[in-house]
Chains A and B, each alone.
Chain A
Amino acid sequence: MADFALAATTETEPRWRVIGRTAFPFLVVGAIWEIVARAGLFPPRLFPSLEAIAAALWRLTLSGVLPHHALDTVIRLGVGFALAAVAGVAVGIAMGRSRLAEDIALPLVSIGAPIPGLAYAPLFLLWFGLGNVSAVLLVAFVSAFPIVFNTWTGVKAVKEIWVRSAQAMGADDARLFRHVILPGALPYILTGLRLGLAQAWRILVGVEMLAAVPWGLGWMIFGAREFLNMDVMLAGVAVIAMIGLALEKLVFQRLEKFTVVRWGMMT
Chain B
Amino acid sequence: MSERARSYLRAAVTLACAAALYEALARSGWFAPALMPTLPQVASALAASLADGTMLGHTVSTLYRVLFGLALAIVAGLPLGILMARFRAVENFVLPLASALMPIPSLAWVPVFILWFGLGNTVAILIVFYAALFPMLLNTWTGVRAVNPLWLRAAGAMGAGEQALFWKVIIPGASPFIITGLRQAFLRAWIAVVGAEMLAASDWGLGWVIFDAKEFLNTPLMLASLAVIGAIGFVFERLMFGSLERATVLRWGMVRAAKG
Contacts and interface: CB of A to CB of B under 8 A. Distances in A.
B222 interface: yes
A122 B237 CA distance: 24
Interface of A: prevailing SS: helix
B104 A114 contact: no
B5 to A, nearest CB: 14
Q: Could you say which of B88, B105, B109, B219 has the most chain A C-beta atoms within 10 Å of its C-beta?
A: B105
A21 B92 contact: yes
Q: How large is the interface on A (under 10, 10 to 19, 20 to 34, 35 or more residues)?
A: 35 or more
B191 A202 contact: yes
Interface stretch (B8-16, B44-52, B72-80, B242-250): B8-16
B103 A115 contact: no
A203 B191 contact: yes
B11 A107 contact: yes
Given A120-B226, A122-B214, A205 B107 contact: yes
Interface residues of B, number: 61
Contact of A122 (B101, B213, B260): B213
A116 B194 contact: yes
A222 B111 contact: yes
Contacts of B13: 103
B103 A209 contact: no
B97 A240 contact: no
A209 B109 contact: no
A225 B199 CA distance: 12
B214 A125 contact: yes
A19 to B, nearest CB: 10
B227 to A, nearest CB: 9
B217 A122 contact: no
Interface stretch (A85-93, A154-162, A244-252, A255-263): A244-252
B190 A116 contact: yes
Contacts of B225: 119
Interface string B93-116: 110110111111111111110111
Contact of B115 (A104, A111, A201, A225): A225
Interface of B: 10-11, 13-15, 18, 35, 85-86, 88, 92-94, 96-97, 99-112, 114-116, 145, 149, 152-153, 188, 190-191, 194-195, 198-199, 206-207, 210-211, 213-214, 217, 219, 222-223, 225-226, 229-230, 233-234, 237, 260
Interface of A: 1, 3-4, 6-7, 10, 21-26, 28-29, 46-47, 103-104, 106-108, 111-112, 114-123, 125-127, 201-206, 209-210, 217-218, 221-222, 224-225, 228, 230, 233-234, 236-237, 240-241, 243-245, 247-248, 266
